[in-house]
Structure 1
């Protein structure tokens, strides 16, 4: 079972999903702590309501100072909108989700509706999400799991976002379960280069 820290910046929709799946037994994880880089966000209030220790931390050093007090073996970036640098012992244990099928529509500046607008501008008929390990470059760590969604000709950025978020709710827990089953090193060792 994974012992997880959740980093967020907003409403905590992904935290809601994790919490519900842990309660029903379909996510093999325990949330140890929740940290936000934004003060007083809804996600922190939800964390407190669920009974998780919840903190605001303005930068990497502050986040890592909090994490050192918790038994954590994986860090889930759940809508965390800053580039995060983990402490050395957790460097390979940071998992992120991106709202496209990497390597398309990813990297610095590609987040939220910007991704969905770019997908539509290109005329794509498929989008989706990618759960991957994070490194020091946006969206370049090893891929754990991807889930595609079909798009119609009359999509808007909002309808694409809704479809992709529904996929994210399935994909992120599935990816974490795969990490729990196979271990972190499996995913770092399976990619070349």
Structure 2
């Protein structure tokens, strides 16, 4: 059984999607073992508590740099015997120590179809504002492995969402979460825990299940 840690900074809607998937028995060979928050007041910690998942705070403000915080996170994850790290609305850049500790074992969900509208500066509503400003007809979400480049790791799953004429950044954000993020993130986590993902260069291969 793979022990999963979810890193959060805010409300935890993607964490809730994982909790709901676990309750439905959809996280095969994986268990949500810990939630680590960069903020003590993050509502995601309340979601974790309600689900009986241990919550921990590794507050960014307590460290002089992202590197120091990253090293503290790595130490905590190792202490908890974590096998998969999931970034779910974690709002801080992790330094290379995290990727070195968990190569091809960190998943992130991004609210666009990478390589569109991704990288530095593209987070939260900014992603959806950019998609609408560009005039694309289709957007969506991507789950990818994390490497040293922001949003640059190998892609695991993607799901498209059509843009409507009357969309606002807020309405588009909600629909991308409901129709894409909350579906493909639990799926990718389960595939990892089942041992069905392999990385070959930039390509992620998904093997057939038992």
Given the two structures, how large is their TM-score scaled by the length of structure 1?
0.92
Partners of 1:173 and 1:190 lie apart in 2 by 24
Residue deviations 1:125-172 (CA, integer Å, cap 9, x gap): 100000000111110000000000011112110111011111111010
Match for residue 165 of structure 2? 153
Q: Give the Å deviation of 1:89.
A: 3.7
SS at match of 2:79: coil
Match for residue 133 of structure 1? 145
Q: Give the Å deviation of 1:91.
A: 2.7
Residue deviations 1:84-121 (CA, integer Å, cap 9, x gap): 24163413211000000000000000001100010000
SS at match of 1:15: helix
Partners of 2:176 and 2:162 lie apart in 1 by 10
Alignment of 1:11-50 (within 5 A): 11-28=11-28, 29-50=30-51
Runs of 5+ consecutive residues of structure 2 not aligned to the other structure: 60-68, 204-210
Match of 1:179 among 179, 183, 192: 192
Query: Residue 100 of structure 1 contacts residue 115 of structure 1 at CA under 8 Å; is this kept in 2?
Result: yes
Runs of 5+ consecutive residues of structure 1 not aligned to the other structure: none
Alignment of 1:72-151 (within 5 A): 72-85=82-95, 86=98, 88-151=100-163
Match for residue 81 of structure 2? 71
Match for residue 202 of structure 2? 191
SS at match of 2:183: helix
Q: Give the Å deviation of 1:182.
A: 4.1
Q: Give the Å deviation of 1:31.
A: 0.9
Runs in 1 of length 4+ with deviation above 4 angstroms?
A: none
Aligned length: 190
